[in-house]
Amino acid sequence: MTYNWITILLIAIIVGSMLYGAARGFGRESHLVIWQLVSIATGLCALGVSWFLSQRISTFVLHQKTTNLPHIIEQIFVAWQRSPRIAVWIAFFICYLILSSLFHRIIGLFIGGFPVRLPRPLFESRLLGGALGAAMGVVRSAVVGAIVFLALQYVSLPALAKQAAASTPYQTLSHRIYEPWLKPFVARELPVLAQGALQPLSRNIDLFAVPSGPDGQDSGVLIVPKQIADLSHQITHGISDPKAKAKALYEWEIHHVKYDWKKYDDYVYHGKWDQQSPLQTLQTGKGVCADYALLYADLAHASGLSVKIDEGIGGTAQNNGSHAWNEVYIPNENQWIMVDTTWGSEQDAWFDVPRTQFNETHALQTSIVINASAK
C-alpha cells in the first residue's frame, strides 16, 4: 500500500490539535490560539514588508546609478541584487523580530488576562477546547503546506513534489491559497538584464546560432562542440520520449549552471559585455540568460530535438529587462513547449509552462529556429 505522507501529516496536525485542545480546555487553548494567530499575522506582515522592500530596492538598483552613494550602501544594494532571495529572507527575519516584539507588547496589554476572566465551566470545557483546537489545526496545516509550497518553489525536490501532486488536501490549499497569494512573492525576483542589453544579447546569440533567413523568426544553424554533444548524449542516454529528453536536459542545466552576477554587474553598472561561448558556459558553470539559452539549444539539438532561441523582454511591470529563453518542439504532441533555464536555476518551475502563463512574464521579439538534424 502506498501512503501519501503529506496528506497524513496535514490530517495528523488537525487531529493532534483537536486532542491537545480538548486536553487543555477552552480557556488555555484560547490563550494559545490567540498568540499563535498573532505570530502568523506577524509573519504575513513581515513577508509583505520584505517583499515591498525587495521590489523597491531592485527597481532602484536596476534604473539608477549607485556609484554616488556611500561605498557600504552601494555594496548592500549590489549584494541585494545578486542574491535577491537571500536578501528577502534576511529582511523577512529582521522585520519579523521587530514586528513580533511590537505586536506582542501591544496586544498583551489587551488580552493578557482574557482566559482568566472566563467562567470556570467555559474555561475548562473540553468540548469547546477540542473544537477550537481542530479549527486551529486547519490553520496550522495550512502553514505547514505553505512551507512545503515555498520549498518546492526554491529547490528541486522530486520526491516531495510527487507527494504534493498526489495530496488532495495540499492541492486544494495550493489552488485556493498558495498559488494566488504566495506565488506572487516568489515569482517576481528572477534575473533579467537591463532594458538596453538586448543589442549585445542578440549579437552574442548570433555569434553561435547563425541565422540563415530574414529578421523575425529565422531558421538558424548550430555547430555543437563535441564536449557539449557528448554531455547531451550522456544525459539523455536511454530516453526516447522527446519531452523526457528536454526535461532531463533542463534539469541538468539548472543544477549545473549558476547565474553570473559579475557579468550582470559588468553590463548594468559599467556597460561592459563579457562575451562567451556555450562551451565556456559549460566549462565555467555560469552565465546570463543568453548563455543559458545557447547552451540549452546546443544540448537539445545534439539530442535530436528541434529548439528555438527566443529573445525579448522578461520580468514584470515592476522589474523587467532584456531576456533570452528557449522553446522545444515535441513531435508527438505537435507543439512547442516553453523552457526558461535561466529562471529555472533560481526557481525550478520553468519547464513546459503553459504559453498563456509564460506570456505574462515573457514578451517575444525575435526567435531563431534550430531544426532537428535529419536522420
pLDDT digits (tens, 9 = 90+) for 137-185: 999 999 999 999 888 876 667 788 889 989 999 999 998 998 888 776 6
Domains contained in the chain, CATH given: 5-186 (no CATH), 195-370 (3.10.620.30)
pLDDT score at 201: 87
Asked if residues 17 and 140 have their Cβ atoms less than 8 Å apart, the reply is yes
Lowest mean per-residue pLDDT among 115-124, 157-166, 205-214, 220-229: 115-124
pLDDT above 80: residue 19: yes
Full-model pTM? 0.57
pLDDT score at 188: 44
**351-353 vs 209-211, strand pairing mode:** unpaired
Angle between helices 289-302 and 226-235 (to 10 degrees): 70
